[in-house]
Amino acid sequence: MSDFSSTQEQLKKGALTLPDLVENYLDRIEQKNPQINAYVSVDGDAARKEAEVIQKKIRNGSAGRLAGAVVGVKDVICEKGKVTSCASNILRNFESVYDATVIEKLRSEDAILLGRLNMDEFAMGSSSENTIYGPVRNPHDDSKVSGGSSGGSAAAVAGELCNIALGSDTGGSIRQPASYCGVVGVKPTYGRVSRHGLVAYASSFDCIGPLAHSVRDCAELLSTIAGFDPNDNTSSGLDVPDYASGLESSGTLRVGVPEEYFGEGLDDGVRKIVEDVIAQLEKDEKFNLVPIRIPHMKYSIATYYILATAEASSNLARYDGVRYGHRGDIDEVRKELRQEKEAIEDKIELADAAGKNDLIEEMAKVDSPLIRLYKKSRTEGFGREVKRRILLGTYVLSAGYYDAYYAKAQKVRRLIKQDFDTAFSKVDVIVSPTAPTPAFDIGSNIDDPIQMYLNDIYTTSANLAGNCGISVPAGTHPDGLPVGIQFMGDKYQESKILQAGYLVEQMLR
Cite the active site residues: 74, 149, 173
Per-residue b or e along 127-148, where b marks 16 or more CB atoms closer than 10 Å to that residue's CB = bbbbbbbebbbbbbeeebbbbb
Q: Which residues contact 207 (CB under 8 A, 6 or more apart)?
A: 168, 169, 170, 174, 187, 188, 189, 190, 192, 193, 195, 463
Q: Which residues contact 342 (CB under 8 A, 6 or more apart)?
A: none
Rounded CA gap, 47 and 412, in Å?
A: 47
Rounded CA gap, 222 and 226, in Å?
A: 6
Q: What angle do CA 424, 428, 432 make, to 5 degrees?
A: 85
Using DSSP's 3-state secondary structure scheme, residue 119 falls into coil
Exposed / middle / buried, residue 1 (Cβ in 10 Å: 0-12, 13-18, 19+): middle
Amino acid at the residue 461: S
Distances (CA, A) of 320 to 51, 74, 259, 328, 415: 40, 24, 46, 10, 36
Contact (CB, 8 A) for 151 and 127: yes
Contact (CB, 8 A) for 499 and 284: no
Return the sign of the alpha-carbon dihedral for residues 372, 378, 380, 385: negative
Exposed / middle / buried, residue 75 (Cβ in 10 Å: 0-12, 13-18, 19+): buried
Rounded CA gap, 155 and 182, in Å?
A: 9
CA 128 from chain centre, in angstroms, equals 10
Q: What is the helix, strand, coil percentage profile of the chain, to 5?
A: 50, 15, 35
Contact (CB, 8 A) for 241 and 472: no
